[in-house]
Amino acid sequence: MSALPLQGIKILDLTRVLAGPLSAQMLGDLGAEVIKIERPGGGDDARAFGPPYLTDPDGKANNNNSFYLCANRNKGSVTVNIATPEGQDIVRELAKSCDVMMENYKVGDLKRYRLDYESIKAINPGIVYCSVTGFGQTGPYAPRAGYDAILQAMGGLMSVTGHLDGEPGEGPMKVGPSIVDYMTGMNSSIGILAALYHRKANGGAGQHVDVCLFDTVIASLSHYAQIFLVNGQTPPRRGTWGNGGMPAGVFRCTDGELMLVVGNDGQFARTCAVLGQPELATDPKFLKNNDRVVHGKEIMAIFAGLFLKKPVAHWLDELAKAGVPCGPINDFAQVFADPHVQSRGMQVKVDHPFEHELSLIRNAITFSGTPVKDYRAPPLLGADTKDVLATIGVDEAKLGELKAQKII
């Protein structure tokens, strides 16, 4: 088996909470050595984001919760107080041998510590320095802090998410998971990888990569935002309705619900046949997809009545035979029990000090030549401080001194 794609790349990760840590985790999965810098005592802010926590073998309270665990595997944890001159010296010394440095502090915060891009570039010209923020390094909002939900609101995502106008519960709605953080993490990884390729192909020069949640959520709106740019109108909230092929949405059956997306005219005809109403496919109001979009409420109401006649399993089976895209609405227990999910190995086991077989979600990328097979558990706070600092000449005596001064 070949080495992992990023073997030999070293990353100094000063990010906290979710977007930045997710990006560093992705790169760690792919073989990069990731050194996570955390505050002595408290660590990453995510460690205090509430239960559930792993059970400590000694019954003690701990800071290994689900929020932290989801974004910090395949890293080493080093505790350094960067508010102290000695801590800043440690980070700068580590940065000298790193390919990438990542941070998600407010714009300008790290400059006072001489840990900003220009300061690090001065000691390591080839560094790829990635800043992850709410609003970016420039612009009137640059100084602001930003969390996922705020950017879902400000970036337009919530304006097109939620129940249809006129339905109970109408109005803007946040997407459940921190989806903007996740997408920003992916953009950060893409930016870092592109900058590393540029460095290799163009003489070794590093650069500053600026990624923010606000840019990410706006770009993610893709065809929704493009509709506005074409005609000046914001698309309406569609609830569970699709936004391309029609009809598409959640349909209630005798014992539950399913999701259906009719992507073209052929699928529409086959769906009508499955539902026992083949004549609908030749009705002039529904003949072409654009016709069905215009008469969306009518065809959705007709389909709603037909689906109510039989159970979910019946419809899923018949629609699958007809080649019509559809699926059950699974909760997480059903997701991880799904035979396809199991065959894809989406749940992986790692050996954590508190739990011998801790379940995590695997990296979503599959390689034929350099498969990601081994995962290391998210580290306990400061677990790798001694080993990592030894690489920059910190011996046992100095280590004790730094601990006594609460620098590490």
Q: What angle do CA 227, 261, 305 make, to 5 degrees?
A: 115
The CA distances from residue 202 to 121, 188, 205, 314, in Å, are: 17, 21, 7, 59
Task: List, as one string, the DSSP characters of 68-133.
Answer: HHTT--S-EEEE--TTSHHHHHHHHHHHTT-SEEEE-PPTTGGGGGT-SHHHHHHH-TT-EEEEEE
The one-letter amino acid code at 368 reads S
Instruction: Give me the catalytic one of 44, 148, 181, 215.
Output: 181
Give CA–CA dist 306/153, Å, rounded: 37
| Cβ neighbourhood burial of 227 (10 Å; 0-12, 13-18, 19+) | middle
The one-letter amino acid code at 68 reads Y
**Phi/psi of residue 159, each to 5°?**
-70, -20
Residue whose structure tokens are 């600026």:
210
Residues in the chain: 408
Residue 56 known to be catalytic: no
Give CA–CA dist 395/148, Å, rounded: 41
Give CA–CA dist 83/90, Å, rounded: 11
At 191, which helix (H) or strand (E)? helix 179-201
**Phi/psi of residue 81, each to 5°?**
-90, 100
First to last CA, the chain: 38
List the one residue out of 237, 272, 242, 275 whose CA is nearest residue 260.
242
User: Under a CB-based contact definition with an 8 Å cutoff, are residues 86 and 407 in contact?
Assistant: yes
* Positions marked active-site: 181
